[in-house]
């Protein structure tokens, strides 16, 4: 665990960090080949369960999917999102974090927020829980439409302040979500720990996307999502061929029968 985190820290200002999501063993096995960090994100709420908000994701949801993901990981750092209302106070945060790490064998957990949760992060780090931070757009806190952060002076100042605070508290990296380009660049230059961007420009130390999104499995019009493959097309072709061979009695042939 410690060595993997040190490896992530060593990439700062040297080489870009690749972070990808996974919610099952099969996906994790493939993601692990390319990722430095595999994130079991609470984004599984919308990706797998069609929830309108990540707030509906439970601790049990995260644990069960993370146990599956763990089986597919050999080299990358495995980080698990702590879901909404599982770290409201120091006592719950520590209890739930220990539960997640113990049951999933993950390497670290991720929390959303800055100054508002400073005492919680401090308490976790003090108790040797590896923490990844998350600033900018905070899906667990959003009510209504998602908006980018850091465009106005007050937001920029607060994000920079929170970034430095998280670094001081001992988090090993910070996800910057939908943070305005110049603000993301300033933050990345101002702290010694890596920043992982999602919709926050090329100036971050690394990038993360929901794997299902970049592979074209999800229909989304989110600005920062680029489709790098069209997996839906391949799936449809395979299923079409399957149906055709059954109807024509080509499958199952002797080769595929007992």
How far is residue 71 from each of residues 67, 74, 186, measured CA to CA in Å?
7, 8, 38
- Each residue's pLDDT, cut to its tens digit, for the chain (258 residues) gives 789 999 999 999 999 999 999 999 999 999 999 999 999 999 999 999 999 899 999 999 999 999 999 999 999 999 999 999 999 999 999 999 999 999 999 999 999 999 999 999 999 999 999 999 999 999 999 876 778 999 999 999 999 999 999 999 999 999 999 999 999 999 999 999 999 999 999 999 999 999 999 999 988 888 899 999 999 999 999 999 999 999 999 999 999 999
Best CA proximity match to 35, nearest among 65, 1, 8: 8
DSSP state at residue 111: -
Fold of 2-227: TIM Barrel (3.20.20)
Q: Which residues contact 95 (CB under 8 A, 6 or more apart)?
A: none
Structure tokens at 19: 């972070």
Active site residue 177: yes
- Would you say 192 and 12 are in contact if contact means Cβ atoms under 8 Å apart? yes
Distance CA 207, CA 137 (A): 15
Its pTM stands at 0.95
DSSP state at residue 56: G
Domain boundaries defined on the chain: 2-227, 231-258
Quote the radius of gyration of the chain (alpha carbons, Å).
20
- Would you say 141 and 110 are in contact if contact means Cβ atoms under 8 Å apart? no
SS3 58: coil
Exactly one of 177, 180, 219, 245 is catalytic; which is it?
Answer: 177
């Amino acid at each position: 665990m410690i060595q993997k985190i040190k490896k992530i820290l060593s990439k700062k200002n040297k080489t870009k960090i690749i972070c990808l999501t996974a919610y099952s063993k099969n996906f994790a096995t493939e993601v692990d080949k390319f990722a430095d960090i595999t994130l079991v994100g609470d984004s599984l709420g919308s990706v797998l369960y069609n929830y309108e908000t990540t707030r509906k994701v439970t601790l049990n949801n995260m644990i069960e999917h993370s146990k599956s993901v763990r089986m597919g990981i050999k080299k990358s750092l495995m980080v698990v999102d702590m879901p909404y209302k599982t770290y409201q106070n120091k006592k719950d945060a520590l209890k739930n974090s220990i539960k997640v790490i113990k049951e999933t064998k993950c390497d670290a957990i991720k929390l959303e927020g800055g100054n508002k949760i400073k005492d919680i992060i401090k308490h976790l780090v003090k108790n040797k829980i590896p923490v990844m931070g998350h600033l900018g757009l905070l899906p667990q806190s959003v009510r209504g439409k998602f908006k980018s952060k850091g465009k106005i002076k007050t937001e920029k100042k607060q994000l920079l302040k929170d970034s430095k605070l998280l670094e001081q508290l001992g988090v090993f990296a910070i996800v910057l979500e939908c943070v305005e380009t110049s603000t993301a660049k300033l933050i990345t230059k101002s702290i010694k720990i890596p920043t992982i961007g999602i919709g926050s420009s090329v100036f971050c130390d690394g990038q993360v996307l929901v794997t299902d999104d970049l592979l074209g499995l999800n229909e989304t019009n989110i600005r920062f999502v680029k489709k790098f493959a069209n997996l839906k097309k391949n799936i449809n072709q395979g299923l079409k061929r399957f149906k055709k061979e059954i109807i024509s009695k080509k499958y199952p042939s002797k080769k595929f029968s007992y």
